[in-house]
A = this chain, B = another copy of it.
Amino acid sequence: MSLKLAVLGLLDLEPGSGYALLQRFRSSLGFFWQTTHQQLYKELHGLHEQGLVDCETVSQESRPDKKVYSLSARGADELDALLAKAASPTKIRDPLLVKIFCGRRLQPEALRAEVESHRLEHEKTLQLYRVLYEQMGKLPAAVRQRYHHPLLTLKLGIRFEETWLAWCDEVMGEL
Binding site for B on A (CB under 8 A): 1-2, 5-6, 8-10, 12, 28-29, 31-34, 76, 79-80, 83-84, 86-106, 110, 114, 117-118, 121, 146, 148-150, 152-153, 155-156, 159-160, 162-164, 166-167, 170-171, 174-175
Contact = CB atoms under 8 A, between A and B. Distances in A.
A56 to B, nearest CB: 23
A142 to B, nearest CB: 13
How many copies the complex holds: the figure is: 2
Dominant SS among interface residues on chain A: helix
Contacts of A96: 87, 89-90
Given A33-B98, A80-B105, A101-B28, A89 B149 contact: no
B95 A83 contact: no
A89 to B, nearest CB: 6
Closest 8 CB pairs of A and B: A9-B102, A87-B96, A32-B92, A87-B95, A32-B97, A87-B99, A32-B94, A2-B98
Contacts of A110: 83-84
B118 A90 contact: yes
Contacts of A8: 102
Contacts of A166: 159
Nearest to A6: B98
Given A91-B94, A100-B152, 14 more contacts: A9-B98, A9-B101, A10-B102, A31-B92, A32-B92, A34-B93, A79-B102, A83-B106, A90-B164, A97-B153, A100-B149, A101-B149, A104-B149, A159-B167
15 contacts: A1-B95, A2-B93, A9-B102, A12-B102, A32-B93, A32-B97, A33-B95, A83-B102, A83-B106, A83-B110, A84-B110, A87-B99, A89-B96, A152-B175, A159-B163
